[in-house]
Each structure stands twice: as structure tokens, then as C-alpha cells.
Amino acid sequence: MMTKDKRNAPAEELISIQVVNAIDCAFPTGSIMGKWFRGLKEKKFYATRCPSCGRTMTPPRGCCALCVVRSEEFVEVGPKGTVENYDIAYYASPDPLTGKVRSTPYAAVFVRMDGSDRDIFTHAIRDEDIPRLKRGVRVRPVWNEVRTGSIEDMLYFEIDA
Amino acid sequence: MTKKKNRNVGIIGIGMTEISSHKENQNQPEMINEAVRAAIADAGITLSDIDCVVHGNMELFEMIHQPDLWHMIGTGALGKPGFRITTGGTTGMTLVAAADNLVASGMYDVVMAIGFNKLQEAGSTTGGITNMADPLWYRHLQTGALTSTSANLSIEEFGEARARKAAMKHRIMMDKHASLNERAHRRFGLEYDQMEDLMKNSPPLIGELRLIHMCSQSDGACVMILASEKKAKKICKKPVWIRDHIAVHREETASNAYFPILSETSQRVAARKLFTRNGIDNPVEYFDVFEMYDPSAWWGIEWLRDFFLLEGDEAIKMVEEGDWDLDGKVPVNPSGGVTASNPISATAMLKPAEVALQMRGDAGRHQLKREVRHGLASGFGGVMWTELMILEKDLNW
Ligand SMILES: [Zn+2]
């Protein structure tokens, strides 16, 4: 079942080769997610609604996977919502997009946007609001001054009080 | 008598490397070769007896694509039909499920399944996992595989003190089991009187999830050889039979994973469907062992409820009363589970492998005292996918 590696290679033959990979990527959105990103530029959240079961999907998807039908009717949700759950990170893991170690604590909130169904949208919460985070708390988006049609058009949520 | 749709399938060989934090003395094909040799020796066959090889890992963790091609010198698959499978955290069990289907179909008589990960090679599993998220938006937000959302809900349901204690008791029980397993990676020698101390002083990672609750990052490989009933009986003195398995996928985006659009978790859906179609009314009564893919102690206590179709506080009451312990109603993870050992794409294969060793009586120091006749094994992967498998000692169900 288990065998021990019996070779005893001299230490100088056990070498680790260091490699850093950096690759440029470009990901097309398609028209459904394109509408979502254009919405963010205009400070709007667009979901799609399933014509069969009626549920919303945020961000929008072009098909309800439960009913297996196209869902191309857009509805606006939010901008406010309710925190259904949250994650407060104390462990400084490197940001895989930049390689930089983020300052802690930072937090993500899982938000049910007003007017949406059971679906959840996730974004960061303002650092200063972390101590007041709990399930059920109301939040509103804070927008970037410069918006280009990306997820970074929204900076984070903040508690709506 | 044929129990399956077409023909029965037995596990005839099991091989695994020691699971450790890093293996700088071996490259990937060498590490895999160690487990391949062990499985072939365990089955008492030669490479020429193997008709087909299925190979799998999560490529992001080593950042090398098509590893099955350059692993050929370690796998012995040269000139044989082969398939590559990569389904995230569930990979290890999907490999076994695929091998089972390939043999049951009649396509091949003897199939070897190889699962591995050498997580130290690309350094950051969190980086790898984040790069699996939707590149259009979710990569910017995801924190990796760590979450406290399950803990938050348990605390809301059972109260802070009770939920925290149950998670920590489960974690210490896992460590006690791992301490008996000579292949386990992390063996701390924890005692139950350390609970209060660990709940306070283990470094916090995310919310209520502390370092001690979370699975390890390990290197290792696992290999299983499956054969048709006829071949298995000829080759092997103690074949273990794969009775049935199920995969339950979830359709949500990552952010929805913790709040099921479906009214039940994928764990509960898998268990209900699998037990119903096999006529198992009382899983706690039926199973002699459960090897669970428990990525953290918090998920562990939550999923025990779902996998055994329990309600309310039944599952954490069983944690409190030691019913999941080695001498309890259903021993859970005699191997020590995933919080002890996690070479990710071997992890979900280690689960049925450990169940099979328990059935054969070959588990070693963590061998259960009771006879193990009916076993359950689970695999888990993002986004909340579940694989669940029933194994049997005898062909008599
Ligand atoms: Zn629908």
C-alpha cells in the first residue's frame, strides 16, 4: 500500500527551479454581461428574470439553469440591499491580480439586492463599517468617480444608516 | 448476480504516498510513480494487466497543463487508452467514478485511476483558486477557498458557545484519528482540554474560521485499480465493491454558493437521492464508516447533518456525544480527514481508498475495531459540488 522512497540522492542534486508566470489575458463579456457592465458605468444593477420560474439572477445570466430556458428580460435591482452573510479576512493572502498583500482586516458582503429574488451579489464593504457588520444589515453602493464598465466601477458597499 | 446496471466492479489495488507538506526529493512523475508501484504491488498484477488509465489533478496548483502527457514515464500509460479528468476538489472521486463507469460499461476490464497534487510547487492554493473564479468580475473580489459563512450560520442557529465548541470538538477528534494514521500529514497530538485555548488563540483567518479549523496544503498521490467482478475475484482475495455513486452539481455563481437557490445543499440532495435509490432508510444505522471530504471543521459539522439527512441539532448533538468517534455510531474519518491531509486531487480519492482499506482490515493503526461492511465516502469541490459513493465489503446488497 505504501512505499517509502528509498533513494538517497545527495542534497546538491535536489534543486528547485524558481519561475514567475505573468500572462496577459482578455475576456469577452458577451452581450448579457456586457449589459451588466454598461449598467455599472451608469450606476445601475441589471439582473435577468427567468420567464419560466420568475426568479432573478444577479449578475445577469442568459439562461436559467434550473428551467433550462433563455432568460433575456432585464430588470433593474438595488441599488440598496440586505447583507445575508459576510466574510471578514484577517489573514493577509496575496491579491492574485496584483501579487500585493492586502492590508487586513478587509471584508466581503453577500448582498440580496432590493427587488431581486433569492440571488446574491458579492462585493467588498467599506473597511470602516466592518465592526458593525452583521446579517440583516442594510447597505448601499459607493461608486467610483471614474467608471469604465468594469466591476471596479463600484468601490464597495457601505452601511446604509 | 449483477447488482449494477451492467456488471459489478471491485477495487483490487490501492496505493498512496505518504502525505506531507512538501516533497522536494521527487518531481511529479516520480511522486506518482511511487503510488502507481504501490497499487500494482497491492493488486499483485503487472502494468500489462491494466487496460486503461485515468489521470487527474487541478492544473492551476502546479501551473502545468496536460500533465498526463509528461507523466507517462511515471504512470506507465504509454500505449494504453487514457482519459484526463479535472473537476476541481472532487477530481479524486470523479476519477474513481469514471474508472467504475469504464469497467461497468464493459469497455475495459482493469482500469487504473491516478489522483495527485503537489501543492507546494506553485506556492499559493488561494491564488490558484481565485483564478478559477469568473474572470469578468469575481476574481476581483474572491478571497480564495476560505470562508466563515457556514460558521456564521451555525452560530446563529445554535448559539456562539455551542457552535464553537462543536466545531472544535470535531477538529480535535480529527486530529486524534490522524495521530493514529502514519500517512497523515498534520498530527498535532491535540487533547480535548485544549478546546478553550484553541478557540481563543488559534490565529483567525476569516471570521470565525481559525487556522486550526482549516484543511492543510499537502503533497501526495493516490492510485486505485478497479476491475470487473470476474477479474476482481480471480486477481484479488479481498476486493471491495463499488455499489453506487452520485454527483450533484450546483448552478449558482460563486457568490450564491453559500445561499442555495435550490432549497437544499448539494450534500443533502446527493445523500437523499443516493440512499433512496439504494433503499437505505436509516444511514446512521446502515453505515459502519464515513470518510468525508471536510475542508474545515465548520463545514464538517454542517455537512454531517446533511449527509445523514438529520434535522435541527441532531448532528451536533452526535458530535457532543461522541457518536462520530472511532467507537461511536458512525465512525467519521478514521484517517483523520482533510483537516489533517489535503493533497487536493488525491484527497477525494483517499476517501474511498480509506473506506476500502477499513473493509479489508488493512488500515493499520487506525483500523476500526468493528467489522466494516457498509461504507460511505464523499468528495467536495467548488462551487459546492458533491460526489457521494457507497462501498460494500460483500456483493450481497
Ligand atoms: Zn427558471
B217 touches chain A (CB under 8 A): no
The DSSP secondary-structure symbol of A102 reads P
* Residue range(s) defining the domain that contains residue A154: 28-159
Chain B residues touching residue A120 (CB < 8 angstroms): 255-256, 258-259
- How many separate domains does chain B show? 1
Kindly give the distance from the C-alpha atom of residue A52 to the centroid of ligand 1, in angstroms, as a whole number.
5
* Residue range(s) defining the domain that contains residue B54: 9-124+216-235
pLDDT of residue B379: 97
Would you tell me how many other CB atoms lie within 10 Å of the CB of residue A73?
Answer: 12
* Closest in B18, B152, B256 to A135, CB measured: B152
B9 touches chain A (CB under 8 A): no
| Polymer length of chain A | 161
Instruction: Identify the burial level of A150 via C-beta atoms within 10 angstroms of its C-beta, where 0-12 means exposed, 13-18 middle and 19 or more buried.
Output: middle
Cβ-Cβ pairs closer than 8 A, A with B, add up to 128
Kindly give the distance from the C-alpha atom of residue A38 to the centroid of ligand 1, in angstroms, as a whole number.
24
Q: Between B62 and A73, whose confidence is greater?
A: A73
Strands A69-70 and A63-64: antiparallel
Residue A74 lies in a domain: yes
CATH number for the domain including A124?
A: 2.40.50.840
Q: Tell me: pLDDT of A1 over 70.
A: no
pLDDT of residue A8: 58
CA B386 to CA B224: how far, in whole Å?
20
Which residues, in sequence order, are bridge partners of residue B14? B224
pLDDT tens digit string along A82-125? 999 999 999 877 776 777 778 889 999 999 999 998 888 999 99
Per-residue pLDDT of chain B (397 residues; tens, 9 = 90+): 456 778 999 999 999 998 888 888 899 999 999 999 999 999 999 999 999 999 999 988 888 889 999 999 999 999 999 999 999 899 999 999 999 999 999 999 999 999 999 988 876 777 777 777 888 888 877 766 688 988 999 999 999 999 999 999 999 999 999 999 999 999 999 999 999 999 999 999 999 999 999 998 899 999 999 999 999 999 998 999 999 999 998 766 655 555 555 668 889 999 999 999 999 999 999 999 999 999 999 999 999 999 999 999 999 999 999 999 999 999 999 999 999 999 999 999 999 999 999 999 999 999 999 999 999 999 998 778 899 999 999 998 8
CA B338 to CA B332: how far, in whole Å?
11
pLDDT of residue B261: 55
CA B115 to CA B182: how far, in whole Å?
20
Residue A8 lies in a domain: no
pLDDT tens digit string along A29-67? 999 999 999 999 999 999 999 999 999 999 999 999 889
At A152, the amino acid letter reads E
Nearest-neighbour CA in chain B from A151: distance (Å): 6
Structure confidence at residue A2 as a pLDDT band (50, 70, 90): very low
pLDDT of residue B122: 76
Phi/psi of residue A117, nearest 5 degrees? -95, -100
pLDDT of residue A93: 72
Which of B368, B298, B296 minimizes the C-alpha distance to B332? B368
Q: In chain A, how many H helices and how many E strands?
A: 1, 10
pLDDT of residue B259: 56
Residue B258 lies in a domain: no
Residue B73 lies in a domain: yes
Residue A22 lies in a domain: no
CA A118 to CA B8: how far, in whole Å?
43
CA A57 to CA B284: how far, in whole Å?
38
Phi/psi of residue B52, nearest 5 degrees? -160, 145
Residue B299 lies in a domain: no
- How many separate domains does chain A show? 1
CA B101 to CA B107: how far, in whole Å?
9
Chain A residues touching residue B136 (CB < 8 angstroms): 27, 29, 33, 37, 151
pLDDT of residue B254: 59
- On average, the pLDDT of chain A sits at 89
Q: Cβ–Cβ of A110/B38 closer than 8 Å?
A: no
* Closest in A90, A123, A151 to B206, CB measured: A90
B201 touches chain A (CB under 8 A): no
Q: Tell me: pLDDT of A7 over 90.
A: no
Q: What secondary structure, in 3-state letters, does chain B show?
A: CCCCCCCCEEEEEEEECCCECCCCCCCHHHHHHHHHHHHHHHHCCCHHHCCEEEEECCHHHCCCCCHHHHCHHHHCCCCCCEEECCCHHHHHHHHHHHHHHHHHCCCCCEEEEEEEEECCCCCCHHHHHHCCCCCCCHHHCCCCCCCCHHHHHHHHHHCHHHHHHHHHHHHHHHHHHHHHCCCCCCCCCCCHHHHHHHHHHCCEEECCEEHHHECCCCEEEEEEEEEEHHHHHHHCCCCEEEEEEEEECCCCCHHHCCCCCCCCCHHHHHHHHHHHHCCCCCHHHHCCEEECCCCEHHHHHHHHHHHCCCCCCHHHHHHHCCCCCCCCCCCECCCCCCCCCCCHHHHHHHHHHHHHHHHHCCCHHHCCCCCCCEEEEEEEECCCEEEEEEEECCCCC
Residue A123 lies in a domain: yes
Residue B178 lies in a domain: no
CATH number for the domain including B50?
A: 3.40.47.10
Find the helix or strand (DSSP H, E) in which A31 lies.
Answer: helix A30-41
Residue B56 lies in a domain: yes
Please enumerate in sequence order all residues whose Cβ is within 8 A of that of B80, keeping only pairs 6 or more positions apart, or say none: B50, B51, B52, B53
Gyration radius of chain A over CA positions: 22
At B41, the amino acid letter reads A
Which residues, in sequence order, are bridge partners of residue A122? A110
The three cell numbers locating residue B322: 461522541
What per-residue string of b and e applies to A81-106 under the rule 16 or more CB within 10 Å gives b?
bbbbbbbbbbbebbebeeeeeeeebb
Residue B104 lies in a domain: yes
pLDDT of residue B249: 84
pLDDT of residue B384: 82
pLDDT of residue B3: 66
How many Å from the N-terminal Cα to the C-terminal Cα in chain B? 10
pTM of the predicted structure, to 2 decimals: 0.93
B365 touches chain A (CB under 8 A): no
At A22, the amino acid letter reads A
Helix (H, G, I), strand (E, B) or coil at A144: coil
